[in-house]
Structure 1
Amino acid sequence: MTAVGAVPVVASWSEPEGIRPRGTVVVVPGRGEHAAVYERFGRRIAADGYRVWAVSDPAVDEERTCAQVRDLLDRTPSDEPGEAGPAPRVLVGSDTGALWAAGLAAEDGTGIDGLVLAGLPGAGVVTGPPDWDGELALRTSCPTHRARLDGDGAVRRGSLARPVPAGWADRARPGAVGVPVLGLHGAADALSPPAGVRGWYAALHQAELVSITGGVHDALNDQTHRTAAATVVLFLERLRGGAGPVTHTELRGGAL
């Protein structure tokens, strides 16, 4: 892990010892966050054999984030811990990190094999800066993650009330995104209501939008974080297999 002061800029989680990496995942944080906020998600995806990295918030220093992402995408694949792993190489973005990742794929998709976009910013707005408890409620309904954010002095409070950086929405043209996209969106996301993003996903060439019942803005760190991680792993496995289905339901009956 590389750090500036006490704030991790790039964090990484490797696959279990003795297992060859199945792919590379690069996480782009959203407003107010930093790389280590995604430790729980990173460890869970890494446990399934993927090499996971998290970079800095592009809303703070876009040039720095772009350099970090390009460095990871452009590295020669390696089985050595601490190095970028093999394809598929997938960007996972949350909040404005999702919008930034979509913009990068639209403008220069070199080395990007897929996108996972959680809580993509849409038409929702925060009317005035909420207090910290209100911001936590907007971000996640998971008490564990709320406590983690509440005790993290590096999380920039009030960030969700800030507008999406100028030009990012225009840059993320869905028709220019040429890789498969998985969208994860909380059905109860008050910051970015699902109705405001469905049209964007519908305009993509290859997309799946998964709505998480009762979920709020941070789909990767909500109470349903296990379901979100499992959905991401299935997407990664489909990419490894050529974007086709990896399972087929032969029979469904009775009450679940």
Structure 2
Amino acid sequence: MPFFDGARGRMHYRRWPIENPLVTVVLLPGIGQHSSHYHRFARTLQAAVEIDAWALDTSGHGLSEGDPEQPGTLAELVADALGLVELARAAQPHTPLVLMGHSLGAATALGMLGAAVPEVAEGETASAVIERDLPLRPALPARELAGLVLSGVPKRALGGGAPGSPGTPLPRELPVLAVHGVDDRRAPIDAVRVWTSRHESVDLHEYTDAGHDLLHERVHARVTADIASWVQGVVVGLARHL
């Protein structure tokens, strides 16, 4: 079984490899989920786009070591995710890389880019936000990504992009797809709508009668098809610029 040494123990990951992929997709699941929950998604995505798919078991989840009640600080989550990205890049050094995260995984993906920064609360100073020990600088340079997919991203990670906010803004040239359920109670959609309005490069897809876990709800086939179409468009766009 594939493992690597993470920030707090051995991390397990899963890979769905194919020969001569057009793109590499690295998936970071949310709390309570792990890589084995994404067999259907990975295989369906592969059937639509020739991808080399990777997924991480967050600390304490699946076969990764750790406490499932304490998956780690955002800085530790970023370090673990970066370890998987480095493995994927080593395996396919010349293939465009798309990073995808769901829920906590989406916050981690933004954290890797230094952009998972909460709103400054009323009466709070920007320096107080910085003192929360958030990763405000990219651990993964955005130029190394062909695209970013965010699913069910929580409000606490969506302050980045506000005028004068700390952290690193997402670059305009980075294509970003956000997929979100209109009836998401865990991460209400209003926050991502506001965040999307600040970023010209973000394409928001909303799904009615859908909640937080889009890839495991009745709309999963439509969501997967939308992600596949978007990823394919990113790859085609890159090819046109070569």
> Residue deviations 1:193-215, cap 9 Å, x none?
21222011111240100001211
Percent of aligned positions that are identical: 27
Structure 1 pair 94–77 and aligned structure 2 pair: CA distance change class (3 A) = closer
Unaligned runs of 5+ in 2: 5-9, 60-69, 116-136, 163-167
Match of 1:9 in 2: 12
Contact kept in structure 1, 2:21 and 2:51, CA below 8 Å: yes
Q: Aligned-residue CA RMSD in angstroms?
A: 3.0
Contact kept in structure 1, 2:27 and 2:99, CA below 8 Å: yes
> Residue deviations 1:155-191, cap 9 Å, x none?
xxxxxxxxx6xxx555x55771122110101111122
Whole-Å separation in 1 of the counterparts to 2:37 and 2:188: 23
Whether 1:56 aligns to 2:69 is no
Whether 1:98 aligns to 2:99 is no
Whole-Å separation in 2 of the counterparts to 1:96 and 1:76: 20
Unaligned runs of 5+ in 1: 123-163, 246-256
Amino acid aligned to 2:151: A
Match of 1:116 in 2: 149
Match of 2:36 in 1: 36
Whole-Å separation in 1 of the counterparts to 2:186 and 2:87: 36
Whole-Å separation in 1 of the counterparts to 2:184 and 2:77: 26
Contact kept in structure 2, 1:32 and 1:57, CA below 8 Å: no
Amino acid aligned to 2:71: V
Contact kept in structure 1, 2:26 and 2:55, CA below 8 Å: yes
SS of the equivalent of 1:242 reads helix
How many residues were matched structurally? 191
Task: Tell me the TM-score normalized by structure 2.
Answer: 0.67
> Residue deviations 1:102-128, cap 9 Å, x none?
121233242222111111113xxxxxx
Task: Tell me the TM-score normalized by structure 1.
Answer: 0.64
Whether 1:70 aligns to 2:71 is no
> Superposition pairs for residues 155-174 of structure 1, below 5 Å?
168=157, 172-173=160-161
Match of 2:207 in 1: 212
Amino acid aligned to 2:233: R
> Residue deviations 1:53-83, cap 9 Å, x none?
11132661456653453344345857xxxx3
Match of 2:63 in 1: none
Q: CA deviation at 1:88?
A: 2.2
Contact kept in structure 2, 1:183 and 1:209, CA below 8 Å: yes
